[in-house]
A and B are shown apart, each in its own frame.
Chain A
Amino acid sequence: MENKVEYEKKPAQNPVEMERTRNRKVFVPKVDIIEAGDAMVMYADMPGADEKSVEVTLEKNVLTITGTVKPQEFAGRSIAYAEYDIGDYERTFTISDEVDRERIGAVVKNGVLKLTLHKAPQAEVKKITVRTE
């Protein structure tokens, strides 16, 4: 068999797959994204997370939503039946550049994150006059 040596560098996944330092399960929250004229509204199901544990970051055009959930403990009782797992939430989206970074609304209610992203006002067309010297 031909022994092939690969010199080519492997392209990284986009975005780069990351690992967490904490050994906790992470779930992808289910989302609804609604386009509403000049805004985009996103609803993400994150049961167990509240306004203190949800984080929304926008870096360049990568929007990341994370939510940490405290594991449930009921003193004096032991788990007898489990159908769902408890863990944190994380999901990343790439968004277009037209989002107004100053006007992003994030509200958490009953374990649902509502994110409102407004479209930025159209960049003014700047005309440059060309002169002769």
Chain B
Amino acid sequence: MFGPVMWRFGGRMDPLHEVQRLQREMGRVFSGLEQPLNSEAPPVNAWVGESDIVVTAELPGVDPGKMDVSVVGDTLTISGTREAEILKEGESYHRQERNHGRFTRSLQLPFHVETGKVEAKYDRGILRITLPRAESDKPKKVPVSCH
């Protein structure tokens, strides 16, 4: 009986429901989660642990030699080129949905990393970068003494 329209326009408006809806919408605008995959910005996932951070990106069909991973300060940048298939004489596209060209993606990391120990692995079209937390950035445990 009370469809979503009734909730919004009728007298039975639930403020909490409205706030949650607004939050969801704002989240969708700013999160970039719904951002379509384009050749300029491959989507990334980040996994944070106590001593390192793992960043993964889906980059199928990219020549590992044409990929660049660099870390400056606390910013990680992934860039590269995805080559398009070169059509020979007499060949034509029926469908072309996959994107190609240059891509660049920068990500600010939650802490400084040991730039010399960054590892990048490319397997099954997924780039995985492991960035160990810098020793100087690790939380220090302060012993509490009692007099």
Does the CB pair A84–B54 fall under 8 Å? no
Query: Does B101 sit at the interface, judged by CB under 8 A?
Result: no
Q: A93 to nearest B CB, angstroms?
A: 10
Q: B33 to nearest A CB, angstroms?
A: 6
Q: A23 to nearest B CB, angstroms?
A: 20
Does the CB pair B61–A48 fall under 8 Å? no
Does the CB pair B48–A84 fall under 8 Å? no
Quick one: which of B50, B125, B126 contacts A76, CB cutoff 8 A?
B50
Quick one: which of B32, B58, B59, B98 contacts A32, CB cutoff 8 A?
B98
Q: B92 to nearest A CB, angstroms?
A: 5
Q: B11 to nearest A CB, angstroms?
A: 28
Measured between alpha carbons, how far is A30 from B56 in the docked complex, in Å?
A: 20
Residue of A nearest to B57 (CB): A84
Does the CB pair B59–A47 fall under 8 Å? yes
Measured between alpha carbons, how far is A47 from B59 in the docked complex, in Å?
A: 7
- Please name all residues of chain A whose beta carbon is closer than 8 Å to the beta carbon of B93 when the two chains form the complex: 32-35
Query: Does A82 sit at the interface, judged by CB under 8 A?
Result: yes
Does the CB pair A80–B97 fall under 8 Å? no
Proximity bits, A46-76, B CB within 8 Å = 1, else 0: 1111100000000000000000000010101
Q: A86 to nearest B CB, angstroms?
A: 8
Does the CB pair B97–A30 fall under 8 Å? yes
- Please name all residues of chain A whose beta carbon is closer than 8 Å to the beta carbon of B44 when the two chains form the complex: 81, 83-84
Q: B14 to nearest A CB, angstroms?
A: 29
Proximity bits, A93-116, B CB within 8 Å = 1, else 0: 000000000000000011110000
For this complex, into which size category does the number of interface residues on chain B fall?
Answer: 35 or more
- Please name all residues of chain A whose beta carbon is closer than 8 Å to the beta carbon of B47 when the two chains form the complex: 74, 77-80
Quick one: which of B52, B91, B98 contacts A43, CB cutoff 8 A?
B98
CB-contacts of A19-49 with B (<8 A) = 30-37, 40, 43, 45-49
Does the CB pair B87–A34 fall under 8 Å? yes
- Please name all residues of chain A whose beta carbon is closer than 8 Å to the beta carbon of B103 when the two chains form the complex: none
Select the residue from B46, B61, B87, B126 with max chain A CB neighbours within 10 A: B61
- Please name all residues of chain A whose beta carbon is closer than 8 Å to the beta carbon of B88 when the two chains form the complex: 36
**Interface residues of B, Cβ cutoff 8 Å to A:** 32-33, 35, 37, 43-50, 52-54, 56, 58-62, 85, 87-88, 90-99, 110, 122, 124-126
**Interface residues of A, Cβ cutoff 8 Å to B:** 30-37, 40, 43, 45-50, 72, 74, 76-84, 109-112
Subset of 17 A-B contacts with CB under 8 Å:
A32-B96, A34-B85, A35-B93, A40-B94, A45-B60, A46-B125, A47-B60, A47-B124, A48-B126, A72-B45, A74-B49, A78-B49, A79-B47, A81-B44, A83-B35, A110-B124, A111-B125
